[in-house]
């Protein structure tokens, strides 16, 4: 990997000014022509869009070891099963994320969701099935101590796993640039067989259509719960078009605020119907959340109550509140505890013939960085394998702050605390709030990686060469919750987000990253 000439140690190839201007023009016009677009920043978005901008993008695909890409694809099948089982373990989620024992005691957002899930359970759940559209995010880990480059998980997303359809178009963009320019012959790695296929749109739509079929009412619609003023609307629209064109399923799009006025749950049958200005109320088979993952989506109690109303209906939730809670950072940390992962995957007494082999759990564990809860006293292995007491989780975080990130129970980017910001943050963190945070060892990304990054508005001079780090996400879906405890699941695609190396956060929608794709290399 670190051998002279490896693309993982020196990337991207150099372009002349004329080549850079030419390929930037080709890339931006292709993006605008093929729906790789955003709505522009506006104080108030008009009901009907009047303009678009291309999504932030990279001109070259990013090198990624073929063996690790194949590993990430294989791991997704195991992760699909793991999080399906976590989501259906009420006792575990109550203990880890609940408002009585777990993170929900001190994290109000988590507690609000958990209390409404508890209320639904008390009433009696009428729809046992859950749908998950998942994305597991990874970075390359190169500690530089003679160890080979490995694959390490950043996080697992169980709600609003976005950018699947735009990432497919980003991969298509790079394929087009190779075909149209040959990338001017600047690298022997830029060959067709090193550009992996990406058909995430069809894969995610398949998961939604399987839930729709399981609901059993062909004429029902799928509800997309969206944010007010959403700029990333086209990433959602491409999925909507795929559902209609391939599966003949209609989509209704509304925000939680709108649904507070339009959603009705039949008190007897628990059928969910949603009214719209264009026609009579329609029955909903599946509720797909592209909102609801952040407290700002719930500005008042009314939005939480609407979420509760949707949850108590017969419609299949994607995700259910339980599955959203399963994606919490605290769950990610608790799964690293000895035996917890194996209990969910490999316990024959618990899962019978559905138990997975120990090797499946070992592969997952190998993809994790060290992490712990700030509210814990932690035992760790010292030199020679002896167990040594390291004191409280907070003390350990202070001692190792320069190599850590602190994470709360949040999604969407911009929520974490890094490195030198950790000690003053810990000074300000109330003792009772520690249960809502975990500490995670930072991934040591490879040195020497760069890219040409293009954001809208720069014209042909808008490409900026920068040192970068890339994050690869693997998508999958899982339909589960029946009496037989079977998990129907599939790995369905991937994305790449690339950011400047000095940027700690990684969200495209949050403005930190650009959309990219993979260039497979052998190491």
Instruction: Tell me how far apart the 2 most distant CA atoms of the chain are, in Å.
Output: 70
Q: Which of 105, 132, 152, 155 is catalytic?
A: 155
- Name the token pair of 450: 């760069």
The response to whether 171 counts as a known ligand-binding position is no
Confirm or deny that 508 is annotated as ligand binding: yes
418 is in an annotated binding site: yes
Using DSSP's 3-state secondary structure scheme, residue 260 falls into helix
Could you confirm whether 330 is annotated as catalytic? no
**Residue 194 annotated in ligand binding:** no
135 is in an annotated binding site: yes
Is residue 497 annotated as involved in ligand binding? yes
Q: Which of 210, 411, 489, 491 is catalytic?
A: 411
The verdict on whether 119 is a catalytic residue reads: no
The answer to whether the bond into 319 is cis (omega within 30° of 0) is: yes
Give catalytic status of residue 152 as yes or no.
no
User: How buried is residue 400: exposed, middle or buried, by Cβ count under 10 Å (0-12/13-18/19+)?
Assistant: middle
Tokens coding 145: 């101590």
Of 230, 174, 171, 159, the residue nearest 200 (C-alpha): 171
Q: Is 160 marked as binding a ligand?
A: yes
- State yes or no: is 283 an active-site residue: no
135 given a catalytic annotation: yes
Say if residue 290 carries a ligand binding annotation: yes
66 is in an annotated binding site: no
Which 8-state DSSP code applies to residue 183? G
Distance in angstroms (rounded) separating the CA atoms of residues 272 and 286: 9
Q: Which of 329, 330, 396, 434 is catalytic?
A: 329
326 is in an annotated binding site: no
Catalytic residue from among 85, 105, 116, 135: 135
Check the annotation: does 161 bind a ligand.
Answer: yes
Check the annotation: does 231 bind a ligand.
yes
Residue 505 marked in a binding site: yes
Active-site position among 157, 167, 255, 513? 157
Tell whether 73 is in a known binding site.
Answer: no
Which residue stretches of 158-225 are H helix? 164-181, 200-215
Active site residue 198: no
What's the full length of the chain, in residues?
A: 523
Cis (ω within 30 of 0) for the bond into 12? yes
Whether residue 389 contacts residue 379, with contact meaning beta carbons closer than 8 Å, is answered with yes
101 annotated among ligand-binding-site residues: no
CA angle 496, 498, 500 (to 5 degrees): 170
Task: Please pick, among 407, 473, 493, 506, the residue that the annotation labels catalytic.
Answer: 407
Q: Is 299 annotated as a binding residue?
A: no
Sign of the dihedral through C-alpha 120, 121, 125, 130: positive
For the question of residue 412 being annotated catalytic, the response is yes
* 108 labelled ligand-binding: no
Alpha helices in 379-469 (DSSP H): 393-399, 422-428
Catalytic residue among 162, 187, 209, 367: 162
| Region of 246 on the Ramachandran plot (φ > 0 left; ψ -120 to 50 alpha; else beta) | alpha
Is 407 tagged catalytic? yes
Q: Is 465 annotated as a binding residue?
A: no
Catalytic residue from among 35, 412, 482, 507: 412
By the 8 A CB rule, do 292 and 159 touch? Answer: yes
Torsion of CA 36, 198, 137, 214, to 10 degrees: 100
Q: Is 157 a catalytic residue?
A: yes
Binding residues, by number, are 135, 155, 157, 159-162, 230-232, 236, 290-293, 329, 407-416, 418, 440-443, 471, 497, 499, 505, 508-509
Binding residues for ATP, by number, are 155, 329, 407-416, 418, 440-443, 471, 499, 505
Binding residues for Mg(2+), by number, are 155, 157, 411
Give the active site residues: 135, 155, 157, 162, 329, 407, 411-412, 497
Binding residues for substrate, by number, are 135, 159-162, 230-232, 236, 290-293, 497, 508-509
């Amino acid at each position: 990997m670190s051998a002279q000439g490896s693309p993982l140690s020196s990337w991207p190839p150099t372009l002349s000014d004329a080549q850079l201007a030419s390929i930037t023009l080709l890339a931006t016009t292709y993006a605008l022509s093929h729906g790789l677009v955003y709505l522009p920043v506006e104080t108030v978005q008009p009901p009907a869009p009047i303009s678009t901008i291309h999504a932030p993008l990279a001109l070259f695909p990013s090198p990624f070891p073929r063996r690790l890409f194949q590993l990430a694809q294989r791991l997704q099948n195991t992760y699909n099963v793991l999080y399906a089982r976590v989501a259906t373990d009420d006792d575990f989620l109550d203990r880890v994320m609940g408002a009585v024992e777990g993170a929900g005691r001190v994290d109000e957002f988590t507690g609000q969701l958990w209390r409404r899930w508890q209320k639904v359970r008390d009433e009696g759940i009428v729809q046992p099935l859950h749908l998950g559209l998942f994305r597991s995010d990874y970075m390359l880990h190169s500690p530089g101590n003679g160890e080979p480059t490995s694959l390490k998980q950043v996080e697992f997303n169980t709600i609003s796993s976005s950018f699947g359809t735009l990432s497919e178009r980003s991969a298509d963009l790079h394929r087009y640039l190779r075909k149209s320019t040959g990338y001017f012959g600047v690298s022997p790695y830029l060959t067709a067989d090193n550009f992996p296929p990406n058909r995430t749109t069809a894969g995610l739509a398949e998961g939604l259509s399987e839930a729709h079929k399981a609901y059993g009412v062909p004429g029902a619609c799928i509800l997309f719960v969206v944010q007010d003023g959403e700029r990333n609307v086209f990433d959602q629209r491409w999925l909507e078009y795929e559902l209609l064109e391939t599966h003949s399923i209609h989509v209704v799009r509304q925000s939680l605020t709108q649904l507070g006025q339009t959603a009705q749950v039949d008190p007897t049958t628990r059928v969910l119907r949603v009214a719209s200005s264009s026609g009579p109320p329609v029955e909903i088979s599946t509720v797909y959340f592209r909102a609801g993952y952040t407290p700002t989506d719930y500005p008042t109690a009314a939005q939480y109550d609407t979420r509760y109303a949707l949850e108590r209906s017969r419609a299949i939730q994607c995700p259910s509140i339980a599955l959203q809670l399963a994606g919490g950072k605290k769950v990610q940390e608790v799964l690293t505890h000895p035996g917890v992962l194996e209990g969910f995957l490999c316990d024959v007494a618990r899962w019978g013939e559905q138990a997975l082999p120990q090797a499946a759990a070992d592969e997952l564990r190998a993809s994790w960085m060290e992490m712990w809860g700030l509210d814990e006293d932690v035992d760790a292995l010292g030199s020679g394998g002896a167990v040594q007491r390291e004191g409280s989780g907070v003390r350990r975080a202070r001692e190792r702050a320069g190599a850590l990130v602190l994470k709360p129970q949040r999604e969407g980017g911009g929520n974490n605390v890094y490195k030198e910001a950790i000690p003053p943050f810990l000074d300000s963190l109330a003792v009772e709030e520690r249960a809502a945070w975990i500490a995670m060892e930072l991934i040591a990304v490879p040195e020497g990686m760069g890219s040409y990054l293009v954001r809208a508005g720069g014209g042909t001079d808008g490409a900026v060469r920068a040192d970068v780090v890339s994050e690869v996400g693997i998508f999958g879906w899982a339909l589960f919750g029946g009496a037989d405890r079977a998990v129907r699941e599939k790995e369905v695609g991937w994305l790449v987000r690339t950011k400047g190396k000095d940027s700690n956060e990684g969200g495209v929608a949050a403005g930190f990253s650009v959309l990219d794709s993979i260039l497979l290399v052998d190491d």
